[in-house]
Amino acid sequence: MTETRHSDALVVGAGIAGLMAALKLVPAKVTVLAKTRLGKGAATDWAQGGIAAAIGKDDSPGLHAIDTQRAGAGINDATIVEILTRDAPARIEELLALGAAFDRTDAGELALGREAAHQRRRIVKAGGDATGHEILKTLIEAVRAHPSIEIVENVTADDAILESGRVCGVRAHDNADGRAIDFLAGAVVFATGGIGRLYRYTTNPVQATGDGIAMAARAGAVLADMEFVQFHPTALSIGRDPMPLVTEAVRGEGAILVNDLGERFMLAAHPDAELAPRDVVARAIFEQQQRGRSVGLDARAAIGERFPHEFPTVFRFCMEAGIDPRLENIPVSPAAHYHMGGIAVDEWGRTSLPGLWACGETSATGVHGANRLASNSLLEALVYGLRVAKDIQSFAIAAPGGSVAFAGEPASSQAQAGESQATADLRNVMYANVGLVRHEQGLREALRRIAELEAEFPRAANELRNLLVVGKLITEAALARRESRGSHYRTDYPQPDEALAKRSFTRLRSVA
């Protein structure tokens, strides 16, 4: 018999967005579902760069908004951009009040870094390149201090539960024994993170399998901007999966990109060279690789002996691989890093389904447009985690009392033989055909392969099942957008089309 648990609010996901939402929902009875042990498996923990906030004397939310919209290639939601940049300084102050240990100057002020496409130094960091870890630690301590918040670890959400069309919970399973558990609540928040596992090369944790998007899609939710996947230009290319990140802040401090012939190629690619928007830098590196060249990040002159102190996480990854960034170039390659698309939400994080809110990377607020500005992701998670909680508190939360139904067919509790290889095949197809450079033939080939895998594994376990749903949605959206814009680049439509300077919205055409 399936176990059933009740709470006022249910938060699915325990990264920065989910924990902030849970914290701000107090004193309501809140249940937080974590796919792994709390503090592990969340992309927040791996975030190196920092949080963007206009707190410098020469900065303003208006300038931050301009940079955000420029990076977004003309399709950002201006209202959401204004909310994000306006609220940023207050969210930093809130983290400081909770005890977050951000880096400071000798004078005691917050040390502000600069990253690509930012006009000003506005990146708040911790531990040089361990910002996400510090924020996650701070929020975990705050959440654990509230007795009204229950953390349920090592459970995976399978599907939304609906009552008369309203989302009222999720069916999940215990990762250890496969036991099914129904978590019911008056309000449900999806904060399940991104989709990086969909691609052969990614900086995301293995848990980033698009769970929230897939569950919402099967329940009939509207999705937005699915075609826009950001590839970080400088993942550490040492054969690891996932690939360690080499934070953009290294380039912000003056490191340059060179190929194996010693040529600095970014000067010819963009006026801002290494500090160009991420999609530009990533494609320039990819183009070098297509020519048979390897690419390295040269930080010797710009950072040199300061590297261990200023970027200890990157330094440790490099040294573990036998690379000393003080003396040699760091081998880098583009890798799937962030999804601008996801579950469509309004300015309060409400989805198209009653009872369901979404925040963090699993949502699509429209703030990032076609290409996220560096260090706006942690910021968006903080801003929207709070806004979702505020909105939920404005409703009278009522626990479900009628008959409930599941969205989609139940997933298999155990992976079948061949699913691991099928997942690898899907990841290879997506990186090759729906990655940094796309065209119609490759996109249709990807859809054909996805359809084959769906037919071969009709009752796939969660990882493959969700990746197939999300892969199909991204590929279909990329096929429909016949232009190049931001992170979406098509060789058969290499220019932006002003008629298409708008966001895209879709629903899953068929339930997986």
Which pLDDT score, from 0 to 100, does residue 318 have?
97
Sheet holding 342-344, edge to edge: 363-364, 342-344, 223-224, 505-506
Whether 510 has a pLDDT exceeding 60, the answer reads no
Nearest-angstrom CA–CA distance, 33 and 361: 16
How many Cβ atoms are within 10 Å of 214's Cβ, its own excluded?
A: 29
Which pLDDT score, from 0 to 100, does residue 285 have?
97
Which pLDDT score, from 0 to 100, does residue 43 have?
67
Contact call for residues 38 and 153 (beta carbons, < 8 A): yes
Which two three-digit tokens encode residue 144?
A: 């654990």
pLDDT in tens, 321-350: 999 999 999 999 999 999 999 999 999 999
User: Is residue 132 very low, low, confident or very high in pLDDT (cuts 50, 70, 90)?
Assistant: confident
Cα of 351 vs its chain's centroid, Å? 18
Whether 404 has a pLDDT exceeding 60, the answer reads no
The dihedral sign for the CA sequence 113, 116, 122, 125: negative
Which pLDDT score, from 0 to 100, does residue 58 have?
97
Q: What CATH architecture applies to the domain 3-228+340-406?
A: 3-Layer(bba) Sandwich (3.50)
For residues 299-306, average pLDDT: 98
User: Is residue 396 very low, low, confident or very high in pLDDT (cuts 50, 70, 90)?
Assistant: low
256: left (phi over 0), alpha (psi -120 to 50) or beta: beta
Quote the radius of gyration of the chain (alpha carbons, Å).
22
Which pLDDT score, from 0 to 100, does residue 276 have?
87
Of 196, 182, 506, 187, the C-alpha closest to 349 is: 187
Whether 265 has a pLDDT exceeding 80, the answer reads yes
The better pLDDT of the pair 276, 453 is held by 453
How many Cβ atoms are within 10 Å of 36's Cβ, its own excluded?
A: 17
Out of 2.60.40.420, 1.20.58.100, 1.20.1300.10, 3.20.20.140, select the CATH number for domain 419-502.
1.20.58.100
Whether 405 has a pLDDT exceeding 90, the answer reads no
pLDDT in tens, 105-122: 999 999 999 887 899 999
Whether 253 has a pLDDT exceeding 70, the answer reads yes
User: Is residue 512 very low, low, confident or very high in pLDDT (cuts 50, 70, 90)?
Assistant: very low
Q: By mean pLDDT, which of 310-319, 328-337, 410-419 is the weakest?
A: 410-419
Q: What is the mean pLDDT of the chain?
A: 93
* HEC profile of 133-183: HHHHHHHHHHHHCCCCEEEECCEEEEEEEEECCEEEEEEEEECCCCCEEEE
pLDDT in tens, 50-95: 899 999 999 999 999 999 999 999 999 999 999 999 999 999 999 9
pLDDT in tens, 474-505: 999 999 999 999 999 999 999 999 999 999 99
Nearest-angstrom CA–CA distance, 20 and 31: 13
Of 109, 68, 117, 115, the C-alpha closest to 88 is: 68
How many Cβ atoms are within 10 Å of 313's Cβ, its own excluded?
A: 20
Give how far Cα 330 sits from Cα of 256, 320, 381, Å: 10, 12, 30
What residue type is assigned to position 31 of the chain?
Answer: T
pLDDT in tens, 11-24: 999 999 999 999 99
Contact call for residues 183 and 170 (beta carbons, < 8 A): yes
Which pLDDT score, from 0 to 100, does residue 492 have?
98
Provide DSSP, 58-79: T--HHHHHHHHHHHTTT---HH
For the annotated catalytic residues, the residue numbers are 278
How many Cβ atoms are within 10 Å of 109's Cβ, its own excluded?
A: 11
3-state secondary structure of 235: strand
Which pLDDT score, from 0 to 100, does residue 511 have?
42
> Could you state, in order of their start, the residue ranges of all structural domains in the chain?
3-228+340-406, 232-336, 419-502
Q: Which fold has domain 232-336?
A: Flavocytochrome C3; Chain A, domain 1 (3.90.700)
Of 427, 355, 406, the C-alpha closest to 215 is: 406
Which two three-digit tokens encode residue 188?
A: 């449900």
pLDDT in tens, 136-179: 999 999 999 999 999 999 999 999 999 999 999 999 999 999 99
Nearest-angstrom CA–CA distance, 342 and 440: 22
Give how far Cα 387 sits from Cα of 80, 83, 384, 392, Å: 12, 10, 5, 9
pLDDT in tens, 438-469: 999 999 999 999 999 999 999 998 999 999 99
What residue type is assigned to position 150 of the chain?
Answer: E
For residues 281-285, average pLDDT: 95
Whether 414 has a pLDDT exceeding 70, the answer reads no
